[in-house]
Structure 1
Amino acid sequence: MGRLNDLANLGQAVWLDFVDRKFLAEGGLQKLVDEDSLTGVTSNPSIFEKAMGHGDAYDAELAAFDHANPDASTMERYEHLAILDIQAAADTLRPVYDRLGTKDGYVSLEVSPYLANDTDGTIAEAQKLWAAVDRANLMIKIPGTPAGVPAIAATIDAGINVNVTLLFSQSAYQAVAEAYVEGLEKRVARGEPIDHIASVASFFVSRIDSKIDDKIDAGIGGDAAKPLKGKVAIANAKLAYAWYEEFIASARWQALAAKGAQVQRLLWASTGTKNPDYPDTLYLDTLIGKDTVNTVPPKTLDAFRERGTAKLTLTEDVAGARHVLSETERLGLDLDGVTDTLVEEGVASFSKAFDDLLGAIAAKHPAHA
């Protein structure tokens, strides 16, 4: 039993922020499940771009698909490859899903980032991908943009598990939590079950510190701001969790819990440390709490296994976290502006990765050979 197993015992799930055909085929995921209590996998356009766009691991499968479907679009070719990977990961995690009674063992597949501002398009794509993957332990990833919020409610209402991505601000997270509850309540009103539906709210961490630290380094807030470096993202996450604890104690949530509803767990994303001056396990060590998830890139997973600290930290010094955020506001560091910018940049980054991914797949078409 190592440090990663200790996290499971403290009530925090560890998911891998990585998927790749070779890794799956060679038993890499299974090994992490068996040895490190890993209980989930997340993917995104950037991960698929690295996996499919580089190397030859997908070439044989793509050639076979092209032979059988000579008129397929580049998007259809991508979806065919992605769905096979997601199905393989879901099948590896199915015993976890069964053992934990649908509470975990999920793999996430993202709707097209081109749909981030299209509610109806997102709903339709979520239903299409859900049907195509055809695995009970799939989560469809939907960005928590203003257009994404009603799509999340509708997708939960349809009985589809949702991983809400690109959350940076507490207000955006709260809107998403309300959307999850709204979707469940609509099912209850129709007499439909809700006990098998799961959702996570992916709250991004390290990118906030990168932006705030840059402002501090540029002199905003003066010397008084310097002690805030590397602290704002963690404080922001702690207060999101404090709100979550209040929310699940509310009468509105308790009515759903009585019907078997699963809590929408906060998932810490972007937990690889961007600043080399910070410990590489910073965003794991400081955000350990009950009924949460940390989705971790392989390198950070290895770092925590070697030197992480497993103890409940998420609920420590919440008053200190409030002070950090009040100082952030007082000193003009504009956290709201930072989080708004990060959502826009996140959508643009995933769209760019998707552009590159589709371009790489298009270049592998036999007609281009």
Structure 2
Amino acid sequence: MATNRVKAIYEHGQSIWLDFIERKFIKSGELQKLIDEDGVRGITSNPAIFEKAISGSSEYDEQMKELVGQSEEDIFYALAIKDIQDAADLFDGVYNDKVVGADGYVSLEVSPELARDTEGTIEQALDLWERVDRKNVMIKIPGTAEGLPAIRKAISEGININVTLLFSLDRYAAVANAYIDGLEDRLAAGQPIDHISSVASFFLSRIDVAVDPKLPEGSDLKAKVAVASAKKSYEIYKEIFSSERFKKLEEKGAKPQRLLWASTSSKDPAIADTYYVEALIGPNTVDTVPMETLVAFRDHGNAASTLESGLDEATQTLDSLKDLGINLDEITMKLEEEGIEKFIAPYQKLLKAIADKVASF
């Protein structure tokens, strides 16, 4: 029997997580099948995913009827937490496989409306962590400037964190250091750090969607800037997590905060549908893929170690942008703002859909 192409990625040290969740998908056994056959080792979710799941299905109606009288946001999180718990239970075997806590995580995001609210983010992250009550959950916090102290505090409280909406190298470095700060704070308080896990979600295709229209016609930089940025972020990762500072934490059981490649579906039909997955396969990383990208890779993807190749070319690509007068820092800041709005819009749509459903009961 031919080796499953998706499962083969794990042989190169990378874990595939699925960027999708839905109650019917969990209950039907489809998720378990992906775990068994494709080697899927975790799940990520976001407000847009839950909006589609809850608005488009009657699977949630029975539980929703029991929650009538609560706010739309409270109803949403009650529904979401049930799905997250059920998915986390399915991934318990992955979590306990080989190296305990290496994988098997399911991510739940704080409200996107808190992206600029440090204290609100901390409060909700602690609340969601306690309510989900699963060792293999990650709470998603956006890597905004306001999110950095929230990440540090959450890590110091022993919460697993998935940092989302990362586009720039400088912000990624700040996030990695916030993670280490949190570990140091926790250790200084006499608390264990050997059970904490975190990923930093670096977004890919959105970068190329923003940069490519600014390139000269026929430029050979098209669809290369996101991958180049990701490769450079991996250099930063290796530098930070091989430092003497982190080694002291590692001796106490700390795990490196892995890079996670997000926004991995190709937005340009001229680019192969497996492009962003194939370009960044490498050790100690995670790639979260939507269902259509997973299916495409299963059919015709090529699993090979690519992450640490072409590093000089990656440097040249980013340098060439400067020569063209394209300011990548400005672009990534705008992408962060747009990213927040792209989660707030479906979140508000979801709350309205819940209100409408409750009114119809």
Instruction: Give the whole-Å Cα distance in 1 for the aligned partners of 2:32 and 2:305.
Output: 27
2:27 counterpart of 1:51: no
2:189 paired residue number:
190
Amino acid corresponding to residue 288 of structure 1 in structure 2: I
Instruction: Give the whole-Å Cα distance in 1 for the aligned partners of 2:249 and 2:355.
Output: 46
* Aligned alpha-carbon RMSD (Å): 1.0
**Aligned-partner SS, 2:15:** strand
Instruction: Give the whole-Å Cα distance in 1 for the aligned partners of 2:172 and 2:272.
Output: 27
C-alpha offsets along residues 63-88 of structure 1, whole Å, 9 cap, x if unaligned? 2333xxxx211111111110100001
2:218 counterpart of 1:257: no
1:85 paired residue number:
83
Instruction: Give the whole-Å Cα distance in 2 for the aligned partners of 1:128 and 1:189.
Output: 23
Pick the aligned partner of 1:73 from 51, 71, 74.
71
- Structure 1 residue 61 displacement after superposition: 1.9
Amino acid corresponding to residue 330 of structure 1 in structure 2: D
**Aligned-partner SS, 1:117:** coil
Pick the aligned partner of 2:302 from 298, 309, 330.
309
- Structure 1 residue 55 displacement after superposition: 2.9
Instruction: Give the whole-Å Cα distance in 2 for the aligned partners of 1:30 and 1:350.
Output: 28
- Structure 1 residue 45 displacement after superposition: 0.2
Instruction: Give the whole-Å Cα distance in 1 for the aligned partners of 2:323 and 2:242.
Output: 31
Amino acid corresponding to residue 222 of structure 2 in structure 1: K
Pick the aligned partner of 1:331 from 307, 324, 330.
324
1:133 paired residue number:
132
Instruction: Give the whole-Å Cα distance in 2 for the aligned partners of 1:248 and 1:93.
Output: 27
Instruction: Give the whole-Å Cα distance in 2 for the aligned partners of 1:353 and 1:330.
Output: 38
TM-score between the two structures when normalised by the length of structure 1: 0.95
Instruction: Give the whole-Å Cα distance in 2 for the aligned partners of 1:28 and 1:173.
Output: 34
C-alpha offsets along residues 261-299 of structure 1, whole Å, 9 cap, x if unaligned? 111000000000000000000000000010000000000
1:60 paired residue number:
62
2:4 paired residue number:
2
C-alpha offsets along residues 137-175 of structure 1, whole Å, 9 cap, x if unaligned? 010000000000000000000000000000000001000
1:271 paired residue number:
264
Deviates more, 1:174-183 or 1:225-234: 225-234
Amino acid corresponding to residue 136 of structure 2 in structure 1: N
Instruction: Give the whole-Å Cα distance in 2 for the aligned partners of 1:187 and 1:72.
Output: 35
**Aligned-partner SS, 2:91:** helix
Instruction: Give the whole-Å Cα distance in 1 for the aligned partners of 2:47 and 2:86.
Output: 18
- Structure 1 residue 317 displacement after superposition: 1.2
Instruction: Give the whole-Å Cα distance in 1 for the aligned partners of 2:23 and 2:47.
Output: 15
C-alpha offsets along residues 291-322 of structure 1, whole Å, 9 cap, x if unaligned? 00000000000011111111110100101000
Instruction: Give the whole-Å Cα distance in 1 for the aligned partners of 2:66 and 2:180.
Output: 43
**Aligned-partner SS, 1:293:** strand
1:219 paired residue number:
none
Deviates more, 1:232-241 or 1:253-262: 253-262
Amino acid corresponding to residue 360 of structure 1 in structure 2: A
Instruction: Give the whole-Å Cα distance in 2 for the aligned partners of 1:210 and 1:329.
Output: 18
Instruction: Give the whole-Å Cα distance in 2 for the aligned partners of 1:9 and 1:192.
Output: 34
Superposed, 1:114-129 pairs within 5 Å as: 114-129=113-128
Instruction: Give the whole-Å Cα distance in 2 for the aligned partners of 1:248 and 1:76.
Output: 38
Instruction: Give the whole-Å Cα distance in 2 for the aligned partners of 1:214 and 1:355.
Output: 30
Q: Which runs of 5+ in 1 are unaligned?
A: 217-221
- Structure 1 residue 368 displacement after superposition: 3.8
Pick the aligned partner of 2:225 from 232, 236, 246.
232
- Structure 1 residue 2 displacement after superposition: 1.1
1:292 paired residue number:
285
Moved over 3 A (4+): none
2:210 paired residue number:
211
2:92 paired residue number:
94
**Aligned-partner SS, 2:86:** helix
Instruction: Give the whole-Å Cα distance in 2 for the aligned partners of 1:315 and 1:355.
Output: 40
Pick the aligned partner of 1:358 from 343, 351, 354.
351
**Aligned-partner SS, 1:290:** coil
- Structure 1 residue 98 displacement after superposition: 1.2
C-alpha offsets along residues 104-138 of structure 1, whole Å, 9 cap, x if unaligned? 10000000001000101000000000011110101
- Structure 1 residue 251 displacement after superposition: 0.4
Identity of aligned residues (%): 51
- Structure 1 residue 176 displacement after superposition: 0.3
Instruction: Give the whole-Å Cα distance in 2 for the aligned partners of 1:51 and 1:295.
Output: 18
Deviates more, 1:266-275 or 1:57-66: 57-66
Deviates more, 1:56-65 or 1:9-18: 56-65
**Aligned-partner SS, 1:274:** coil
Instruction: Give the whole-Å Cα distance in 2 for the aligned partners of 1:280 and 1:115.
Output: 33
Instruction: Give the whole-Å Cα distance in 2 for the aligned partners of 1:126 and 1:112.
Output: 9
- Structure 1 residue 235 displacement after superposition: 0.2
TM-score between the two structures when normalised by the length of structure 2: 0.97
2:27 paired residue number:
25
2:315 paired residue number:
322
- Structure 1 residue 190 displacement after superposition: 2.1
